[in-house]
Amino acid sequence: MANTPVASPNVSATIGLKNVVIAPLTADTEEGHTYGDLQLVAGAIEASVTPDNTDPDIMYADDIEFDVLYADPELSFKLKMADIPLAIQEMIFANNIDDNGVLVRTAQDKPPYFAVGFKSEKSNGKYRYVWLYKVRAKPLTENFATKEGDTVTRQNPEVEFTAIKRTHDGRYQAVADEGENGFTAEKGATFLQSVYEPTFTENP
């Protein structure tokens, strides 16, 4: 006798992006981790999260593909913005603004690690919430273009981050859908007010 399939969770596409926040990862050791104060980054246009190291390590035995292993997760997180103010660039890329208000980049600048969070509206009117726990920015991509008569083409900067697992606990991402698995709108209202730390009845 065939088993009856379990009902599918609700399906709803993401249609928005807002409330991008960052928090510096001030410590991450085997003993623990800490974050600094959150900073809102306004003007988000588009975000993407893509696995980078997806090539499998396939073991063969008995003349067949016997087992498959993958490396530790590493993600590429791209964020396109309306603009990135110099004060935010100073934080993300470890540049320095001098006494005259000029952002100066040097070969010695070493971008720090951050957590990044955001929410995305879904077509059902609810939200998906995301935290990436440990990301580091690559050099900023900027484009500039001349005006063509009355035609103005907006040039929007894009930052690419590499996201890796935390040293402390191996966690690298947290995702929640409003209205699913007991995650309520009330929980969503505070989800981006601090870097989310999971709770389990029994630690997995």
Which structural domain, as residue segments, surrounds residue 173? 18-191
Is 160 contained in some domain?
A: yes
Q: Which residue would you say has higher pLDDT here, 110 or 148?
A: 110
Residue 6 domain flag = no
Angle, CA 67 vertex, CA 66 and CA 69 arms, to 5°: 160
pTM for this model (two decimals): 0.85
Torsion angle of C-alpha atoms 27, 30, 32, 38, degrees rounded to 10: 40
Tell me what the mean pLDDT of segment 78-90 comes to.
Answer: 94
For residue 12, give the nearest of 188, 185, 180 by alpha carbon.
180
57 occurs within a structural domain: yes
Top pLDDT among 56 and 77 is at 77
Paired with 76 in beta bridges are: 50, 162
Q: What is the pLDDT of residue 54?
A: 66
The kind and range of the H/E element at 91 are helix 86-93
The residues that bridge with 51 in the sheet, in sequence order, are: 75
Does residue 11 lie within any of the structural domains? no
Find the length of the chain: 204
CB count, 10 Å around CB of 15? 11
Around Cβ 91, how many Cβ atoms within 10 Å?
A: 19
The mean pLDDT value for 108-123 works out to 96
Cα distances (Å, whole numbers) of residue 165 to 57, 127, 173:
20, 25, 8
Q: Is residue 12 part of a domain?
A: no
Q: Which residues contact 181 (CB under 8 A, 6 or more apart)?
A: none
Q: Tell me, yes or no, whether 88 lies in a domain.
A: yes
Return the pLDDT at 136. 96
Q: Number of structural domains, the chain?
A: 1
93 assigned to some structural domain: yes
pLDDT digits (tens, 9 = 90+) for 11-23: 889 989 999 999 9
**pLDDT at position 94:** 95
Task: Tell which wins on pLDDT, 117 or 62.
Answer: 117
| 200 is a domain residue | no
